[in-house]
Structure 1
Amino acid sequence: MDKSVNTLNNEHQVCWPERLSYGASNFACCLSFGLIGNFLMYFYTDAYGIYAAAVGTLFLVARVIDAFNGPFWGILIDHTHTRWGKSRPYWLWFSIPYSIFCVLVFTTPHLNLGGKILWAYITYIGVDVLYSGVNIPLTSILPNLTSNANERVTLSTISALFATAGSTLISVIALPLVKAFGQGNNQKGFFWLGLILAFLSCIILLNAFFNTRERVQSVAERRSLPIKTSLKALKGNWPWAIIVFIDFVYWIGMQTRNQVTVYFFKYNMHAAWLTSIMLGLGLFGSITVAVTPWFSKRIGKRNTMMVGWLVSIAGQLVMWVGAKVQNVPIIIAANIIVNLGLGFISGLIAVMLADAVDYGEWKNGVRAEGIITAFSSFGAQLGMGLGGAITGWVLALGGYVANQAQTRNYLELRLDSNHGVRPFRNCPALLPR
């Protein structure tokens, strides 16, 4: 049996090479799927020629599939018992298939519009399902890496720092590299960037498999849990329910903000080059992620997360003012404030979910990391999907036409003449022609 399977011990510590390997796996996920999450809608509408409404519907359909996709992976993890552990093997088994679909989703075969939409459905849903296969284990493995509460906060913080680095890096380099690789052909540019990121992500995920160990497993965990038994871990588990809701709200906001950014600066501000700078401000979130353990020890995890929400909401209100007057310095300052608040939230989601695993075991006598983390992943992906769908539908409702100047619309003119109201006068890119 693998030496990673040991007895429960509150003093389990994780060495730095293992900490870095674990954190880097989140970097890989955020690097490759960050390109998809932040820029796939832009790629579909402005590079591949698919209507915004069709893209928004695709994102929603993918989330419906996630209603089964997330729990499927969770149940699979709870039924997995190998010499490598329960969660680790998924990085070995699915890192290569996931990477292949990361390339396919940015591949542009010459098809009619219906064929393009079908291709988008197949490749996007495929990469989405496989992303769950490598990302859910990233969270489900945390309670098995160590049973030490402080060590879990440390691991979660390291992972969140890597995630912020990955998300920020791809936000900054994506469009410049697409331009460099494509030389005026965005389809080609996105393909080569997707290929490079897929290769790097595959190597990093395999490294995480080889350099992490699952230490914390009880004798009962070495037997497969029936689905009915696994679901008992959710009964009365209010910490789990709250963190799933937080994950959902966090990602619906993040996805909407990130996807709208490229359209806003390209069409409203006529300065597409600002997109990379604005998304790159996510790096400020690493500051609060780094100090999250310190705050958590002094005011508690719950209060630290509440501070994060209050700061991010305040920053979003300032951003609304900046967008209203189209003032770049105000928008930059607001972005920094928002990302500082989000750093506290992202730094605690995984560790609080690990605590929910322990709570479920204490309350119901069932330790089911897979099913608990899978439903959290479903909440996150549902938020991402709805955020993407909302963006697509709003663009479609506004009569968005890719790569053309967006003009004021009939509805706005009617509001002007009938009521003297111009609610969208500073957002012409989101309005019908």
Structure 2
Amino acid sequence: MRLMVYSHDAFGLGNIRRMLAICQYLVQTVPDITILVVSGSPALHSLRLPSGVDYIKLPCVGRDQAGELTVKFLETEVQETIKLRSEIILAAATNFKPDLFLVDKKPDGLQGELKDTLAYVKANHPATKLVLLLRDILDCSDVTIQQWQRCNYYQLVEWLYDQVWVIGTRQIFDVCQEYAFPKVIADKVRFCGYIRRSSSGISRSTLRSQLGIQPQDAFVLVTAGGGGDGFELIEAYLMGLAEEKNYPGQLKSLIVSGPEMPLNQRQALLRLSTKHTNVQIREFTDDLINYMSAADLVVSMAGHNTISEILSLRKRAIVVPRVAPVAEQWIRAERMAKLGLFKVIHPQHLTAHRLIQTVLDELVAPDLTQSLQVDMQALPRILNYLSWLLSDHQTVACSFRSSFHSDQIPHLATADR
């Protein structure tokens, strides 16, 4: 069985880490599966890939502070780079010949870079199943509906995709209702629940000992995900530590700034951290789930993966979500905070004093997270959906013929997210 995975990753680590979690589960549970990941994530080479998974690295693109698409490393124009990425993806699909092509978030890829590949697959390998993977929340309803209408995503999903897998639950955010999916698309949607993440390898006690944390100490993990916009959160935490005088014991902290934080910001945080003897700061770790397991409290943003890890471990957490350029993190944080899953601070209300006081309050408050229940069965459900789709994968879909070309795909306007 051959699975090809596309993850554009113009910003952050969330998309690629979510996709690799799915890949790891599948290679552990499906005999004789081989997976090819195609991604532009700059951190891909730093992440652990299980046996049975290989990758093709696309040239990196990102977004500036205004949200505009930029080329990260090459001295090339954006459209020139997108063309290069598009041709690499097409070559990969042509030669790999996947039984199932799993596309993350964007039905036509970043800036439409999947158009030629989708047309090629439908024309030459009509038995190949196409699946769109969506995280629980994309953006607020109005913005997402306008984008899907403008980019003809509704028609594209209706025409080309066999299923839509949503990593989330209808109870927290019903994408079919919120994003006005017509019935023909809603019928393709499968709510999977959230991805359960487990710590592995080193034990909680051993890890705390290695960090110099005594049993009576409080250990706070501060993570900004990819780190591209996490400076204010970490700065507020470090400045708040200067006010911390009331905790009855040692308060020790590990800060993971993220590999995408600009160098000047990382250096500023390092200077701030030297004022605190009980603070360690790192740029990146591939063992974040283990550090989270060892922590008494997590301070983070509200990215889909980070929240999934918090929920998997049932950790007490204080979440400061991103609110721009998309509202996804704020919507997720607000809805889950109302369920009592963690505390949330709107970034407009973030101050050093407020953050550290919330940290101290949470450390001494009763831990109620163990009694909370969230559907974390995404991985076994994905396995079931994949098995069902491919149980008859030799059957040829007769609605597409070899005359199918990319210009027959509905006009795909340039996406702005």
Q: Is this a same-fold pair by TM over 0.5? A: no
Normalising TM by the smaller chain, what interval?
A: under 0.3
TM-score when scaled to structure 2?
0.26
Larger RCO, structure (CA 8 Å, separation 6 or more): 1
Relative to its length, the structure with more strand (as a share) is: 2
TM-score when scaled to structure 1?
0.25
